Amino acid sequence: MILIILLIITTIFLMIGQFKYADIYIALIKGFMIGFLYHKEQYDDGFDEYTLQCCIGLINVTVKWEQPSG
């Protein structure tokens, strides 16, 4: 059940990445992780950087993009 939920989350992250013209990284990790992450970083130059990450076992999918603040 958890695997199905994470696969759905990964699919949503990839759709968001395509919509936002984001950088999408798919990587193998050393170890075993299960879960997902959302992070927003605000910079002083007026841009916000967003990161979406989903880990399913040994595979990590990361979606990153920037947009102006506001």
As a whole number of angstroms, the distance between CA 37 and CA 32 comes to 15
**Gap between the Cα atoms of 3 and 52, Å rounded:** 17
Confidence category of residue 63, pLDDT binned at 50, 70, 90: very high
| φ/ψ of residue 64, rounded to 5 | -130, 140
Give pLDDT tens digits for 14-49. 999 999 999 999 999 999 999 999 999 999 999 999
Residue 3 in this model has a pLDDT that exceeds 90: no
- Least Cα distance to 22 among 43, 51, 54, 45 occurs for 51
C-alpha distances in Å from residue 40, one per residue of 33, 34, 65: 21, 21, 10
Predicted local distance difference test score (pLDDT) of residue 70? 74
The reply to whether the predicted model has a pTM over 0.85 is yes
With cut-offs at 50, 70 and 90, classify the pLDDT of residue 1: confident
